[in-house]
């Protein structure tokens, strides 16, 4: 069925918005910042993985995993 992924994506975004509107006041600003960083890192890893799976190896090779690990360590030290 064409468009099923788009429909699921829209429903998840709407559900996340409703949950955020109802329960957002219970989340501290530090937790919101951490969730934002974790979301960004997960998108980065998803992109790197999809580049390797779908053959965009040249781009995936430019993004070295050591650089990603160094950035993660920098984020981790910002919480200390």
DSSP characters for 12-67? HHHHHHHHHHHHGGGS-HHHHHHHHHHHHHHHHHHHHHHHHHTT-HHHHHHS-HHH
Per-residue pLDDT of the chain (80 residues; tens, 9 = 90+): 778 888 999 999 999 999 989 988 898 989 988 988 898 888 888 887 777 666 655 555 666 666 777 777 887 777 66
- Number of structural domains in the chain: 1
Q: Which domain holds residue 10?
A: 4-79
Give residue 17's pLDDT.
Answer: 92
Q: What is the DSSP letter of 13?
A: H
pTM: 0.51
């Amino acid at each position: 069925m064409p468009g099923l992924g788009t429909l699921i994506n829209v429903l998840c975004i709407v559900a996340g918005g409703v949950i955020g509107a109802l329960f957002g006041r219970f989340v501290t600003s530090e937790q919101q910042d951490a969730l934002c960083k974790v979301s960004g890192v997960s998108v980065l890893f998803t992109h790197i993985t999809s580049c390797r799976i779908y053959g965009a190896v040249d781009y995936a090779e430019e993004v070295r995993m050591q650089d990603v690990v160094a950035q993660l360590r920098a984020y981790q030290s910002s919480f200390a």
